[in-house]
A and B are shown apart, each in its own frame.
Chain A
Amino acid sequence: QVQLQESGPGLVKPSQTLSLTCTVSGGSISSGSYYWSWIRQPAGKGLEWIGRIYTSGSTNYNPSLKSRVTISVDTSKNQFSLKLSSVTAADTAVYYCARDHTTWVQDPGYFDYWGQGTLVTVSS
């Protein structure tokens, strides 16, 4: 059973960089044709896909955030990470990591395993 767990600071100051890590257990992050995604949800609102990475390092980002987002992977640690720069209060949200199940590599997919989510608040 694949499990994902987000970790990182719960409070980030405006203009700084938000950094989160997702640790995958119960299977290798490199096995299968899976991408690994970040998704966020402001309180009381809907879901926004941030971006994803394949274990080769290939990435896809949401154009609305692309200029500020970097997603990386560390296969030796079975982890992938999110960096979001120049944050503002609008970036306050619960951040989820998820396994992106894609039929064809490089095509978008659906999310079959999710982490529990971590709240990140942007405030001075």
Chain B
Amino acid sequence: AIRMTQSPSSFSASTGDRVTITCRASQGISSYLAWYQQKPGKAPKLLIYAASTLQSGVPSRFSGSGSGTDFTLTISCLQSEDFATYYCQQYYSYPITFGQGTRLEIK
């Protein structure tokens, strides 16, 4: 199975900050990567697929980049509603696997 490793596991930031979360795959996955946002008690919400394609309805302050083994999710100007846990997911091969999550907290 392809292992997905996110960094950092958690960190604090302030509204208005620009933040970047990293996801590394244990082997190349081309651009078969998605990013999700999850708030407590809620289902994950798809933000980005194909590494950099914004899902319909997702604010443009979210962006994704990368290919191969290294990927990033960037939030350009943090809003209060962005404090949540973020997961990456590879869909290059079976089994589908997720990163362990990055918890973004208010400073």
Name B's interface SS. loop
Number of residues on chain A facing chain B (CB within 8 A): 24
Cross-chain contact A63 with B95 (CB below 8 angstroms): yes
- B89 part of interface (Cβ distance < 8 Å): yes
Which residues of chain A are near B49, meaning CB under 8 Å? 101, 110, 112
Q: Which of B48-107 contact A (CB under 8 A)?
A: 49, 55, 87, 89-101
Query: Which residues of B line the A interface, CB within 8 A?
Result: 1, 32, 34, 36, 42-46, 49, 55, 87, 89-101
New A-B contacts (6) at CB < 8 Å, excluding given A62-B96, A110-B46, A114-B43? A46-B98, A49-B96, A108-B90, A111-B36, A114-B44, A116-B42
Query: Which residues of A line the B interface, CB within 8 A?
Result: 37, 46-49, 60-64, 96, 98, 101-102, 107-112, 114-117
